[in-house]
Structure 1
């Protein structure tokens, strides 16, 4: 499914309390960036937020599904989980979930640089 420009525009409103985000085209979808750090991705009109070992359990407890795609006859799961619907109605919740994703992205980036 193709991502609509309306959906991308909506995300700026959703995350207004968190801060500016930028959508960059990648692999048939979009990466969502804040201050140069990728904290989410958009596939079709679905938003996925960055997770790591510290934050993934919060998404799992909410029964949110991970981002997966097909490759070489199998499934590949990335460290991004579907965003909860509540963020589209509650700016404070949106800010909290964006901060969680941003912090996971920073930790992941830091861990990668340390290798």
Structure 2
């Protein structure tokens, strides 16, 4: 499945009044960031917004299904992303409204610690870790 660059360009254009959208390619899609905070993914020719326990009720009320995929063993894996409502594809105000909910979820998500290579010394704050 090819990356839908037109969709990503639309998101970047619509979100420009709020901040800068950047992307990182992943498995045929892309992870989208607004000023460094993850807020969406583009996959399966659709936009999927970041969600969490605090925002799930709003996504459920709008009928936005959770991102899910079938694994090789037949089990279903889901991620905390919700399919964007149809109006975000042609209404910049709607896109910014829903993206704001997703951005808040992204900001609430715990940050991942930087990985270090074996034997490499990393400095975190005032302490040095190995």
Is the structural similarity TM-score above 0.5?
A: yes
Query: What does residue 81 of structure 1 align with?
Result: 82
Gaps of 5+ in 2: 114-130
Q: Which stretches of structure 1, 4 residues or more, deviate above 3 A after TM superposition?
A: none
TM-fit CA distance, 1:20: 1.4
Answering whether residue 99 of structure 2 is matched by residue 93 of structure 1, we say no
In 2, are the aligned partners of 1:31 and 1:38 still within 8 Å (CA)? yes
Kindly provide the CA deviation profile for residues 67-86 of structure 1, in whole angstroms up to 9, marking residues without a partner as x: 11112211111000001121
- Give TM-score, length-normalised by structure 1: 0.85
TM-fit CA distance, 1:101: 0.4
Query: What does residue 53 of structure 1 align with?
Result: 53
Between structures 1 and 2, the one with greater helix share: 1
What is the CA RMSD across the aligned residues, in angstroms? 1.8
Whose relative contact order is higher, 1 or 2, with alpha carbons under 8 Å and at least 6 apart? Answer: 1
- Give TM-score, length-normalised by structure 2: 0.76
Gaps of 5+ in 1: none
In 2, are the aligned partners of 1:17 and 1:92 still within 8 Å (CA)? no
TM-fit CA distance, 1:44: 2.7
Comparing 51-60 and 14-23, the one that deviates more: 14-23
Comparing 46-55 and 57-66, the one that deviates more: 57-66
Larger radius of gyration, structure 1 or 2? Answer: 2
